[in-house]
Amino acid sequence: MGFKIALGGDHGGYKAKTFVIEMLTKQDHILHDFGTNNEESVDYPDFVHPLATAVENEEFDFGILFCGSANGVCMSANKHQKIRAAIAWTAEIAALAKQHNNANVLCIPGRFLNESELEEIINSYINATFEGGRHQRRVDKIPC
């Protein structure tokens, strides 16, 4: 079964986002791109907050954000109380973000990953399942 996936990011993540959209289009998902739509310099919070609000409102199953380092988009997304945004730079970390932290936004450092790494990381996150149990107890303590 496919997912409803929100994607977004700044100019530093644009190329990676474009690749991931092409990749996910070949799978059975519904995608919505919150922008940006080219490599002109922009401010990442302008794209993160609308996406994060939509994920909080359960309009999407999860989001994937992209910037150069992943830090800016992750910091911005995590200001939203119901968002658990995690930076992933390996497939194992991406899987753990879902399995242990029930991350609902994955943050990708677009300037530091090649296409095969991107494919592995995204598929690893999508195919992972939250393990619940003691992890649910910890996740419940995150909001402040």
Active-site residue 67, yes or no?
yes
Q: Is 71 in the site for ligand RB5 (CB under 6 A)?
A: yes
Is the dihedral angle over the CA atoms 54, 74, 17, 12 positive or is it negative?
positive
Q: Is 8 in the site for ligand RB5 (CB under 6 A)?
A: no
Residue for token pair 């490599």: 39
Nearer to ligand RB5, 44 or 60 (CB): 44
User: Rounded distance, CA 119 to CA 21, Å?
Assistant: 11
Applying CB under 6 A, among 12, 63, 87, 97 the residue interacting with ligand RB5 is 12
Active-site residue 144, yes or no?
no
User: Rounded distance, CA 59 to CA 31, Å?
Assistant: 11
- Per the residue annotation, which of 32, 49, 100, 135 is the catalytic one? 100
Q: Is 16 in the site for ligand RB5 (CB under 6 A)?
A: no
Nearer to ligand RB5, 76 or 124 (CB): 76
Residue for token pair 């149990």: 133
Q: How many CA atoms lie within 13 A of 96 on its CB side?
A: 7
* DSSP-assigned letter for residue 54: H
Piece of 14-22, 66-74, 114-122, 135-143 that binds ligand RB5 (CB under 6 A): 66-74
The residue type found at 83 is I
Binding site for ligand RB5 (CB under 6 A): 10, 12, 44, 67-69, 71-72
Which residues are catalytically annotated?
67, 100
